[in-house]
Amino acid sequence: MESSLNRRHFIKVLGLGAASLAVPGCTSLSELSAGKSSAKKPNFIIIFCDDLGYGDLSCFGHPTIRTPCVDRMAAEGQRWTNFYVGASVCTPSRAALLTGRLPIRSGMCSDKRRVLFPDSAGGLPESEVTIAEALKTGGYTTACVGKWHLGHLKPYLPTSNGFDSYFGIPYSNDMDRVGGPGRQAFFEPKTEYWNVPLMQNEDITERPADQNTITKRYTEQAVTFISQNKNKPFFLYLAHNLPHVPLFVSKDFRDKSLRGLYGDVVQEIDHGVGRILDTLRREGLAENTFVVFTSDNGPWLTFDQHGGSAGLLREGKGCTFEGGMREPCVMWWPGRIKPGVVNDMGATMDLYTTILTLAGVKVPTDRIVDGLDLSPALFGTGSSPRKTMFYYRGAKLYAARKGPYKAHFFTKPAYGKGQEKRHEPPLLYHLGHDPSEKYDISKDHPEVIQDIHKEVALHLANLIPGQDQLAKRITEK
């Protein structure tokens, strides 16, 4: 009942007629009209890591982590050096990717709780139109494998949000803590310390999930899904739970990386990328499949050697310096996208608009969508349309970028008891000359600050914050 209501809702939202509603055993008008072209519709795969930093791939400069499969993907495709997520922590970042909207609009960010927890009562509002929901209207088969973190109760699960199937841990792998010696548990992790569930669609099938084999099993699910759906257009959202702490790796990858356990984990993910791309090649799907590899937020630096690296970017997960929100990103589509390094700006929200456009599916027009179509930069016909980026912490705008300049109106340490600091004039950095945000040039460029203030005023003028979806707990009535 729930999913049918959902479907009617987004069909209405997308402005599609009743002919789009499939009746079992009948061919709808839209299916008839789409019949010839459906074979040529591109497939889409988003591989989304958890807490992988800007500097954690060898093709992004890491000296001791070896990622030959993602490196090859980058050599055959595009390596984006200015690619952003919609928030510096998991839940709001994932909401931004799947809805194409800044989390402030959907209410999937909060100043009270930064992400969803196992006692959270909320999740992604039904009124949001996910990539998967939109692609369903275009005849796509959809699967979510991995970490969800947009609500673990039934109305919020992937299967209620446009995905035909789900296999994964519904939130972070460090939640449901039940054992282990304090903080040391993270540095000598055992799977039984975290009683996280593994779900198949709406059912828990394993608890605690065996995290040692989780990356391997996600890859296997992905490969099986691709092979089973090779004759129809599909969308696969593969969201790894790792390398978020606690780190786990299967035995074939343990003690293999010069970087230690963190490197082992990243190298297992990389191996999985290789298996997925090999499957696409073997099934003859490579030239018709757009694959994106990126991460949900920067490295969790408070976990020492178990956290990743933002390379030369400042700070990491949890804050609005570049290390928190700029991610390594590789895009791949052999024979279609123009190989090379892209220094233009892009964002996960843009994947929403780009994918829907490439699929011939209408982007919702009854709401503000922040995503932009990256096709010009992808296909080498022009530059990326993204010229600005807004950096929120919870529900508050902390910083804004326009072109190479970034202004910080507020800063606050990522974690701990550090206080929020207001900057007047804002701190100003030139991210081309100074990617590490070391040298404040605000005094030399009042005109740039004024220009950024204008962009911010335009942005805020159209902003209607969504109702906070993260604060409410199951125990509250």
What is the pattern of x (binds Mg ion, CB under 5 A) and - over residues 71-110? -------------------x--------------------
The residue type at 259: R
Options 82, 160, 173, 297; binder of Mg ion; rule CB under 5 A: 297
| DSSP annotation string for 288-335 | GEEEEEEESS---GGGGGGS---TTSS--TTSSSHHHHEEEEEEE-TT
Within residues 372-401, the interface with Mg ion by CB under 5 A covers none
For tokens 């008008």, the residue is: 29
Closest residue (Cβ) to Mg ion?
90
Q: Is 50 in the site for Mg ion (CB under 5 A)?
A: yes
Catalytic site residue from 69, 109, 149, 319:
149
Nearer to Mg ion by Cβ, of 267 and 297: the residue is: 297
Nearer to Mg ion by Cβ, of 118 and 425: the residue is: 118
Nearer to Mg ion by Cβ, of 51 and 128: the residue is: 51
Cβ of residue 89: shortest distance to Mg ion, in angstroms?
6
Cβ of residue 94: shortest distance to Mg ion, in angstroms?
8
Sign for the CA dihedral angle at 329, 335, 338, 341 comes to positive
Sign for the CA dihedral angle at 125, 129, 132, 138 comes to positive
Cβ of residue 134: shortest distance to Mg ion, in angstroms?
24
Contacts of 450 (CB under 8 A, 6+ apart): none
| DSSP annotation string for 156-220 | GSGGGTT-SEEEE-SS-TT-SB--SSTTHHHHS--GGGB---EEETTEEEESS--GGGHHHHHHH
Per DSSP (E only), the strands in 301-437 are 326-332, 340-347, 388-393, 396-402, 405-411, 421-430
Q: Which letter does DSSP use for residue 29 in this model?
A: H
319 phi-psi bin (left φ>0, alpha ψ -120 to 50, beta other): beta
Cβ of residue 449: shortest distance to Mg ion, in angstroms?
31
Cβ of residue 415: shortest distance to Mg ion, in angstroms?
13
What is the pattern of x (binds Mg ion, CB under 5 A) and - over residues 445-464? --------------------
Cβ of residue 90: shortest distance to Mg ion, in angstroms?
4
Catalytic site residue from 90, 109, 144, 329:
90
Judged by CB under 5 A, the stretch of 47-55, 118-126, 361-369, 424-432 that binds Mg ion is 47-55
Nearer to Mg ion by Cβ, of 50 and 128: the residue is: 50
Within residues 314-353, the interface with Mg ion by CB under 5 A covers none
Nearer to Mg ion by Cβ, of 47 and 90: the residue is: 90
Residue 48, phi then psi, degrees to nearest 5: -120, 115
Nearer to Mg ion by Cβ, of 303 and 409: the residue is: 303
CA–CA dist 265, 242 (Å, integer): 7
Is 149 an annotated catalytic residue? yes
Is 459 an annotated catalytic residue? no
Which is nearest to 384 in space by CA: 341, 421, 415? 341
CA–CA dist 29, 35 (Å, integer): 10
Question: Contacts with Mg ion: how many residues (CB under 5 A)?
Answer: 5
The H or E element spanning position 239 is strand 234-239
Residues involved in catalysis:
90, 149
Binding site for Mg ion (CB under 5 A): 50-51, 90, 296-297
